[in-house]
């Protein structure tokens, strides 16, 4: 009897179509382009849909499956085309001279607005090092400009540059096993190759030098010219470079100028989404534009709104959250113009399915996942809230019109609006908890209050900007007044983000498994959709159980350390996490792969910061990945034994990378604290003491011709030895004191 019961579920066509697209796309995205996995999954999903659903909805699922498989096939055919640069290059980094066309609308010609770190471009032709003839080619690539003197570029410029076609860093770090089994690759929490694939690229081009040789703006380039004119008007009369860049990032999508410290502060306060063009900004712009377009007839009003939103989304870079919002609102505008209606959740599913068809790998993009899941949760929670508000206001239908009724209704509406705002922030936080822990190791409950305070301010910024643009051209005094209002709003937001970033710490929670994440979100969606109290109670219990278990397991985790080798020229990396004494230690930051793997080791165990980083020697090589390490986990302080007269380069590079972090030395009165580095003839020794439990460990690292010998000795009598070989691919030893 279970099949007839499930067949009676109210499954709409957009839901069936979206399920089919995901079923046809996900196997190829996760498991590679294996025909066996693709068709096995498609046949399984199709068979289940015909068993459980009505025939018309099962046909829609089948159509979605075919669409998803077709999208994957078209994507692979396009990337493997004979003139695509990806098909012409060997599977290694290649030096080359390339002619490229800039197609990134996030670049601005306005002064003081810095370009993004990665710039989207089209490959026109190239020649590898040693070749004499250019080869015509095509395809999308992302550029990395020189840091010291980046060239001034605009959307549409054609450049000729010398550089390297670089494969994405795959974080190849391998775990050492006690048995003779092969080394196991540590899966990173975030994969740069997935980031590129979701945007239609597979490599970066690191430019050493380049020159602009032409200009072909195209449609996007002409749109950005108009955008830059508005941006120049928006930042006029604003003197602070930081606020100019924040305005450019929030309103116009040119986020490259937001400095690293501001970005980290926004991440730590849980408000980074407020300062990048996302679905929320598109929705706010829609509300403001509707006020200005209200005098127009209904159909013309919504068609005009559709066109304006399309231009705005394209001019800001067309990222996944903004495109999702545009597809939703754009479809709503066209349906309104046609006097039709479609539920919000179905609109979201249509938008998500369209995005996946256009770029299949976007399904693994963190921004798409955040935007899609949180929007779905807000829609479902909003429907529940609307039902509750109708029930709460039932009494007013039977009350005669009187001052008492109007006053009571007004008070109730205000209280209900405040409750709705708080509930929306809480729902968005719960919706992002699983993804934040799984992809970033972040749990920031203070973000609820921070977003609740800043949302009205951000919503106010759009009318203030429209006032400045509209009236500033008529009278300079209005332009000055609008600039001061913007400066005040952004200064207030900066104060709030600083307060919450410094005053509300991360909660320590382990990284959940993928199965736990799936069960968590299944319980969340079940809670928001079921109408039976016992089912809702069970879903709520599951929903509470998982986060509590993540917190508990982080607190009860045993002491563990992580040792990674780099090459003969770099010192090893050590990461140590002791939950009982709430202490996290890092030794050295040499080597990108090993340092990031060490940071992720700490994040997966629930570390919220690095209490101290110790450098085994004052060499600049030990600072190679310090910036990337601090972006993952805040570093409280640093320590090194001594700085001699040859260590000026180390001191300068550290101060440039972490200007707010104190660097202590034994000569300056600092001490090692719980951990101490003892220099040895062929390496160094780390001694760690847990003052609460009198537990001590000593790690001796000795360098030999074939690698580093790591010797562990602890106060409980345990002694272990591991040989980690030197190679271009780091090897890791992870040990837990169970």
pLDDT of residue 734: 87
Q: What is the mean pLDDT of residues 68-90?
A: 79
Write out pLDDT tens, residues 314-324. Answer: 888 877 788 88
- Would you place residue 692 in the very low, low, confident or very high pLDDT band (cuts 50, 70, 90)? low
Range among 110-119, 541-550, 611-620, 699-708 with highest mean pLDDT value: 541-550
pLDDT at 190 > cutoff 60: yes
Nearest Cα neighbor of 21 from 68, 59, 74 is 68
User: How far apart (Å, rounded) are the C-alpha atoms in residues 481 and 723?
Assistant: 67
pLDDT of residue 522: 92
Chain-centroid distance of CA 552 in Å reads 26
Q: Using an 8 Å Cβ cutoff, are 614 and 672 in contact?
A: yes
Q: Is 168 exposed, middle or buried (0-12, 13-18, 19+ CB in 10 A)?
A: middle
Task: Give me the percent of the chain exceeding a pLDDT of 90.
Answer: 16
Phi-psi sector, 201: left (phi>0), alpha (psi -120 to 50), beta: beta
Q: What is the DSSP letter of 84?
A: B
Q: What is the mean pLDDT of residues 60-89?
A: 81
pLDDT of residue 81: 65
User: How is residue 584 written in tokens?
Assistant: 């996290």
pLDDT at 122 > cutoff 90: yes
Q: Is 737 exposed, middle or buried (0-12, 13-18, 19+ CB in 10 A)?
A: middle
Q: In 14-27, which positions are buried (b, 16+ CB within 10 angstroms) versus exposed (e)?
A: bbbbbbbbbbbbbb
Q: What is the mean pLDDT of residues 659-676?
A: 78
Measured CA to CA in angstroms, residue 636 lies from 301, 381, 605, 659 at distances of 54, 39, 18, 12
Q: Using an 8 Å Cβ cutoff, are 64 and 21 in contact?
A: yes
Q: Using an 8 Å Cβ cutoff, are 349 and 286 in contact?
A: no
pLDDT of residue 303: 93
Q: What is the DSSP letter of 397?
A: G
Higher pLDDT, 655 or 567: 655
Average pLDDT over the chain, rounded to an integer:
84
pLDDT of residue 288: 85
User: How far apart (Å, rounded) are the C-alpha atoms in residues 44 and 21?
Assistant: 14
Which of 252-256, 346-350, 587-591 bottoms out in mean pLDDT, i.e. has the lowest?
252-256
pLDDT of residue 7: 41
The neighbouring-strand residues paired with 141 are 121
130 CB contacts (<8 Å, ≥6 apart)? Answer: none
pLDDT at 187 > cutoff 60: yes
User: How far apart (Å, rounded) are the C-alpha atoms in residues 216 and 209?
Assistant: 21
- Write out the DSSP string of 632-670: HS-B--EEES---TT-HHHHHHHHHH-TTS-EEETTTT-
22 CB contacts (<8 Å, ≥6 apart)? Answer: 64, 68, 356, 363
Q: What is the mean pLDDT of residues 364-371?
A: 86
Residue 631's CB: how many other CB atoms inside 10 A?
15
- Would you place residue 125 in the very low, low, confident or very high pLDDT band (cuts 50, 70, 90)? very high
Using DSSP, state whether 179 is helix, strand or coil: coil
Measured CA to CA in angstroms, residue 333 lies from 284, 406, 635 at distances of 15, 34, 48
For the chain, the maximum distance between any two Cα atoms, rounded to a whole number of angstroms, is 92
Backbone torsions φ then ψ of 101, nearest 5 degrees: -115, 125
Q: In 449-471, which positions are buried (b, 16+ CB within 10 angstroms) versus exposed (e)?
A: bbbebbbebbeebbebbbbbeee
pLDDT of residue 1: 41
Q: What is the mean pLDDT of residues 150-157?
A: 83
pLDDT of residue 6: 42
User: How far apart (Å, rounded) are the C-alpha atoms in residues 511 and 598?
Assistant: 14
Nearest Cα neighbor of 655 from 694, 614, 620, 607 is 620
User: How far apart (Å, rounded) are the C-alpha atoms in residues 554 and 579?
Assistant: 7
User: How far apart (Å, rounded) are the C-alpha atoms in residues 245 and 257?
Assistant: 5
pLDDT at 179 > cutoff 60: no
Write out pLDDT tens, residues 484-513. Answer: 999 999 889 889 988 888 888 888 899 999
Q: Using an 8 Å Cβ cutoff, are 466 and 288 in contact?
A: yes
């050295």: which residue's tokens? 588
Q: What is the mean pLDDT of residues 240-268?
A: 81
- Residue 213's H or E segment, with its range, is strand 201-215
User: How far apart (Å, rounded) are the C-alpha atoms in residues 446 and 451?
Assistant: 9
Q: What is the mean pLDDT of residues 574-591?
A: 88
Task: Give me the percent of the chain exceeding a pLDDT of 70.
Answer: 93
pLDDT of residue 80: 61
Q: What is the mean pLDDT of residues 201-225?
A: 89
pLDDT at 142 > cutoff 90: yes
Write out pLDDT tens, residues 397-453. Answer: 777 777 877 788 788 888 888 888 888 889 989 999 999 999 888 888 888 999 889
User: How far apart (Å, rounded) are the C-alpha atoms in residues 363 and 454?
Assistant: 30
């790591």: which residue's tokens? 710
Q: In 36-53, which positions are buried (b, 16+ CB within 10 angstroms) versus exposed (e)?
A: eebeebbeebbeebeebb
User: How far apart (Å, rounded) are the C-alpha atoms in residues 619 and 651?
Assistant: 9
pLDDT at 3 > cutoff 50: no
Measured CA to CA in angstroms, residue 149 lies from 104, 209, 400, 580 at distances of 20, 9, 74, 48
Which of 170-179, 231-240, 472-481 bottoms out in mean pLDDT, i.e. has the lowest?
170-179
Angle at 84 between CA 78 and CA 88, to 5 degrees: 130
Q: What is the DSSP letter of 342?
A: -
- Write out the DSSP string of 400-443: PS-HHHHHHHHHHHHHHHHHHHHHHHHHHHHHHHHHHHHHT---
Q: What is the mean pLDDT of residues 616-638?
A: 87
User: How is residue 726 written in tokens?
Assistant: 């030197």
Range among 276-285, 396-405, 617-626 with highest mean pLDDT value: 617-626
The neighbouring-strand residues paired with 158 are 101, 214
- Write out the DSSP string of 354-375: HHHHH-GGGGG-HHHHHHHHHH
717 CB contacts (<8 Å, ≥6 apart)? Answer: none
User: How is residue 222 written in tokens?
Assistant: 């002409």
- Would you place residue 250 in the very low, low, confident or very high pLDDT band (cuts 50, 70, 90)? confident
pLDDT of residue 264: 80
pLDDT of residue 99: 94
Higher pLDDT, 58 or 178: 58
Q: What is the DSSP letter of 396?
A: G
- Write out the DSSP string of 226-281: HHHHHHHHHTTT---HHHHHHHHHHHH--GGGS-HHHHHHHHHHT-GGGGS--HHH
Which of 407-411, 561-565, 567-571, 691-695 bottoms out in mean pLDDT, i.e. has the lowest?
691-695
Q: In 231-240, which positions are buried (b, 16+ CB within 10 angstroms) versus exposed (e)?
A: bebbbbbbee
User: How is residue 17 written in tokens?
Assistant: 């179509």
> What Rg value do the Cα atoms of the chain yield, rounded?
28
pLDDT at 550 > cutoff 90: yes
Nearest Cα neighbor of 564 from 583, 592, 584, 605 is 592
Nearest Cα neighbor of 272 from 321, 308, 234 is 321
pLDDT of residue 82: 61
Chain-centroid distance of CA 710 in Å reads 36
pLDDT at 618 > cutoff 70: yes
């Amino acid at each position: 009897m279970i099949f007839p019961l499930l067949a009676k579920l109210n499954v709409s066509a957009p839901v069936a179509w979206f399920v089919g697209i995901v079923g046809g796309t996900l196997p190829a995205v996760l498991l590679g382009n294996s025909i066996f996995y693709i068709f096995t999954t498609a046949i399984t999903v199709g068979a289940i849909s015909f068993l459980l659903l009505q025939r018309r909805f099962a046909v829609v699922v089948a159509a979605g499956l075919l669409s998803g498989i077709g999208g994957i096939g078209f994507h692979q055919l396009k990337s493997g085309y004979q003139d695509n640069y990806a098909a012409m290059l060997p599977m290694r980094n290649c030096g080359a001279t390339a002619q490229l066309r800039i197609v990134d609308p996030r670049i601005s010609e306005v002064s003081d607005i810095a370009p993004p770190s990665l710039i989207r471009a089209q490959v026109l032709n190239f020649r590898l090092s040693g070749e004499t003839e250019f080869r015509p080619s095509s395809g999308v690539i992302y550029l990395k400009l020189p840091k010291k003197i980046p060239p001034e570029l605009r959307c549409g410029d054609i450049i000729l540059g010398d550089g390297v076609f670089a494969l994405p860093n795959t974080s190849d770090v391998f775990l050492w096993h006690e048995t003779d089994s092969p080394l196991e690759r540590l899966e990173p929490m975030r994969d740069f190759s997935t980031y590129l694939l979701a945007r239609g690229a597979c490599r970066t081009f690191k430019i050493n030098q380049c020159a602009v040789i032409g200009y072909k703006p195209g449609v996007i380039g002409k749109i950005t010219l108009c955008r830059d004119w508005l941006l120049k008007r928006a930042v006029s009369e604003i003197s602070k470079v930081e606020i100019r860049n924040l305005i450019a990032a929030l309103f116009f999508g040119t986020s490259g100028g937001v400095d690293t410290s501001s970005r980290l502060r926004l991440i730590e306060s849980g408000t980074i989404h407020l300062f990048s063009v996302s679905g929320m900004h598109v929705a706010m712009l829609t509300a403001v534009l509707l006020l200005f377009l209200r005098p127009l007839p209904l159909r013309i009003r919504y068609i005009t709104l559709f066109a304006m939103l399309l231009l705005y989304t394209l001019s800001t870079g067309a990222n996944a959250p903004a495109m999702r919002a545009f597809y939703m609102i754009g479809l709503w505008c066209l349906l309104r113009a046609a006097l039709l209606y479609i539920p919000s959740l179905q609109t979201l599913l249509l938008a998500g399915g369209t995005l996946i068809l256009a770029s299949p790998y976007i399904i693994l993009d963190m921004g798409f996942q955040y935007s899609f899941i949180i929007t779905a949760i807000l829609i479902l929670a909003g429907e529940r809230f609307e039902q509750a508000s109708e029930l709460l206001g039932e009494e007013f239908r039977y009350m005669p019109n009187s001052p008492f009724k109007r006053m009571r209704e007004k008070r109730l509406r205000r209280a209900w609006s405040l409750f709705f705002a708080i509930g929306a922030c809480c729902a968005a936080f719960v919706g992002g908890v699983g993804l934040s822990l799984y992809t970033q190791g972040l749990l920031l409950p203070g973000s609820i209050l921070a977003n609740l305070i800043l949302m009205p301010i951000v919503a106010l910024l759009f009318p203030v900007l429209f006032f400045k643009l509209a009236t500033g051209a008529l009278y300079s005094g209005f332009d000055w007044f609008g600039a001061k209002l913007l400066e005040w709003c952004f200064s207030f937001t900066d104060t709030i983000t600083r307060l919450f970033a410094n005053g509300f710490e991360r909660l320590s929670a382990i990284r959940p498994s993928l199965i736990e994440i799936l069960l968590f979100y299944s319980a969340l969606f079940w809670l928001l959709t079921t109408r039976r109290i016992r089912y809702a109670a069970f879903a709520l219990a599951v929903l509470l159980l998982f986060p509590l278990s993540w917190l508990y397991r982080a607190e009860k985790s045993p002491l563990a350390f992580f040792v990674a080798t780099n090459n003969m020229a770099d010192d090893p990396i050590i990461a140590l996490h002791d939950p009982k004494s709430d202490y996290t230690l890092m030794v050295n930051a040499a080597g990108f792969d090993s340092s990031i793997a060490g940071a992720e080791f700490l994040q997966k165990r629930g570390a919220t910061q690095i209490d101290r980083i110790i450098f085994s020697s004052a060499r600049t090589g030990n600072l190679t990945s310090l910036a990337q390490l601090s972006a993952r986990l805040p570093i409280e302080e640093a320590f090194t034994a001594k700085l001699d007269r040859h260590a000026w380069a180390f001191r300068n590079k550290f101060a440039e990378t972490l200007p707010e972090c104190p660097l202590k030395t034994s000569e300056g009165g600092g001490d090692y604290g719980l951990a101490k580095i003892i220099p040895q003839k062929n390496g160094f020794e780390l001694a760690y003491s847990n003052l609460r439990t009198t537990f001590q460990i000593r790690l001796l690292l000795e360098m030999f011709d074939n690698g580093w010998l790591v010797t562990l000795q602890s106060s409980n009598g345990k002694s272990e030895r591991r040989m980690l070989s030197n190679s271009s691919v780091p090897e890791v030893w992870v040990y837990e004191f169970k």
